[in-house]
Amino acid sequence: MMKAIALISGGLDSILAASLVKKQGIEVVGLKFKIPFCSNKHKGVSDFGIEIKEADICDDFLEMIKKPNYGYGSNMNPCLDCKILMLRKAGELMEKYNAKFIVTGEVLGQRPMSQHKKALAAITKRSGLEGLILRPLSARLLEETIPEKEGWIKRDALLNFSGRGRKQQIGLARDFGIKEYAQPAGGCLLTDSGFSGRLKDLMEHEGLDRDSVELLKLGRHFRLNDTAKIIVGRDKRENEQLLSMAAPDDYLFMPTDKLAGPTSLGRGDFNKELISLSCAITCSYCDIDGISAADIIYRRISEKEDRILRIAPIEENKLLSIKI
């Protein structure tokens, strides 16, 4: 049986594109890429009749994002380079899965940076997969691909969707019996201005690695100097995650049991002044109920010895000036 790889993002468009190809008798292997900035949740084989394979491209993505060939979007989102990377990696897996072509859920005109005709053509060329990328939702508005020319896929059974509207997709989902799917907004953290600011700060100071990027997803971040920062947990879950992610050279700051407040993780080169500043920042988010100062516990993970500093909260203006 003819096989194709379908890139599965978890959103509706990619599911519909894979389903359209599957309906034509093609065996579809769903490929979900693991990258640091998007949710890795997806529906499985029992939901859509498509087996999902996962491929980890985190390291390649972190290297690419340092200097994307096509630059960034409105924030730190390198949309064109992201598509090219994913398609290249999918191309490398075609032999493994005995696939003849690749399917994507891209819709012409849906996204201003990466889904107009010129961008789609550039993505195809730079991926090294010319003629082998089928975009079923907009195929009849685009040039014929090899699968169509060779008769593997019937072009008249493909669609001519365009623009940012969702009515056609929702109607098609209803026809396919697909009732649950992710909403189109909010999938990529790189499109968020707050997260992008923290990422840019990390790139300028410590550099990128998986662990540091995961920390960007937690808490409130404060830049203390060029070599040190502190992350303050916002709730019990984040406090526990910060504790679990602390490395041997990191510092932890938290109130005593008598006081409700966050766990803070300090990373970098800390001296007495920065320890005091971090205690004051942590105190600012404690429930001090009108008292002028509080006891903050701190320790370096590798030393395993708690110390206590009684300190007042940092002034609000200074707190805001160092928040990332």
User: pLDDT digit of tens for each residue in the chain (324 aa)?
Assistant: 899 999 998 788 999 999 999 999 999 999 999 999 986 555 444 456 788 899 999 999 999 999 999 999 999 999 999 999 999 999 999 999 999 999 999 999 887 777 889 999 999 999 999 999 999 999 999 999 999 999 999 999 999 999 888 899 999 999 988 877 766 655 789 999 999 999 999 999 999 999 999 999 999 999 999 999 999 999 999 999 999 999 999 999 999 988 999 999 999 999 999 999 999 999 999 998 878 899 999 999 999 899 999 999 999 999 999 999
pLDDT at 317: 96
Q: Where are the alpha helices (DSSP H) in the chain?
A: 12-23, 45-48, 58-66, 79-92, 94-97, 117-127, 146-149, 167-176, 193-205, 210-216, 236-245, 272-284, 316-322
pLDDT at 187: 74
Cα separation of 260 and 242, whole Å?
Answer: 17
Domain positions in the chain are 3-187, 218-322
C-alpha–C-alpha distance, residues 80 and 120, integer Å: 9
Per-residue model confidence (pLDDT) at position 46: 42
> Is residue 152 within 8 Å of 100, Cβ to Cβ?
yes
Task: Determine phi and psi for 32, rounding to 5 degrees.
Answer: -110, 120
pLDDT for 45: 43
Architecture of domain 3-187: 3-Layer(aba) Sandwich (3.40)
Backbone φ and ψ of 151, nearest 5°: 80, 10
| Res 44: pLDDT | 44
Residue 155 has φ and ψ, to the nearest 5°, of: -60, -35
Question: Residue 266 in contact with residue 250, Cβ under 8 Å?
Answer: yes
pLDDT of residue 42: 52
17 closest CA partner among 235, 208, 233, 173? 173
Say which DSSP state 313 is in: P
Q: Which pLDDT does position 166 carry in this prediction?
A: 87
Q: Coil, strand, or helix at residue 219? A: coil
Cα dist from 60 to 84, 89, 210, 287, 296, whole Å: 12, 10, 11, 43, 40
Identify the CA nearest to 212 among candidates 78, 34, 9, 37.
37
Q: What is the dihedral of CA 179, 185, 190, 192, to 10 degrees?
A: -140
